[in-house]
Amino acid sequence: MIGLLDGTVFDVSNDHFILTVGGVGYDISASSQTLADIHVLLGQPLKVWIYSHVREDAFQLFGFLTKPEKEFFMMLLKVNGVGPKMALSIMSGARVSQIQDWIEASDAKALSALPKVGKKTAEQIILTLQGKLVRVDPKVKAPKVSETHRQISSALVNLGFKNQNVDQFVSTLAVTTTIEEGVREGLKQLSGNL
């Protein structure tokens, strides 16, 4: 099984990215949170923690920027009814540290607002994982992520836009975008998603 890849970010799309290692491009699925962090690293070196998922008809790679994020993903897989794609979808709904806070606080309402999570699944996640999590430090983010992009994200979230929508928007911005340009463009594009 593949546990870690060290290569260069070649391409980033909505639900995966390609990392080239030794001339081979690995197609790696990732959460929208991770993809937003990786988007600004196009053409740059990156080490990615990998979870390999093998089925009869498929071999999929799931990528994470930190080991605790990968461990949280693997914990989600222990929850009855949660597979790799659903776990990734859950991790796309909010920062991992926030999801972990909701689990520890037994906040089924907040968890059920995550993508593909209903009330029963939220309760199952709490029942299975509460008290067993390796906590992800909310201050630990992707390496070399532009401070400008972080400030644009923060400004848009503070204006009331959803984390997931903001992260997807910010991941499309050029590295040279200023804070003012990013916030102005974000207001234009996200105003229908409050």
Domain range list for the chain: 4-64, 68-129, 147-193
Q: Provide the pLDDT for residue 141.
A: 46
Q: Give me the residues of the chain with pLDDT under 70, please.
A: 134-146, 175, 192-194
The CATH code of domain 68-129 reads 1.10.150.20
Here the contacts of 25-28 (C-beta below 8 Å, separation 24 or greater) are: 26/61, 27/61, 28/61, 28/62, 28/63
Cut 0.85: pTM above it = no
Pairing between strand 24-29 and 59-64? parallel
28 near 21, Cβ under 8 Å? no
Residue type, 25: G
Q: Which CATH number fits domain 147-193: 1.10.10, 1.10.8, 1.20.1300, 1.10.3470?
A: 1.10.8
Digit-coded pLDDT (tens) for 29-81: 999 888 888 888 888 899 999 999 888 888 899 999 988 899 999 999 999 88
Name the residue type at position 29: S
Average pLDDT over the chain reads 84
Residue in the structure block whose two tokens are 């984390």: 163
CB distance 19 to 2 below 8 Å: no
CATH number attached to the domain at 4-64: 2.40.50.140
In the prediction, which pLDDT does 143 show? 43
- Output the pLDDT for position 5: 94
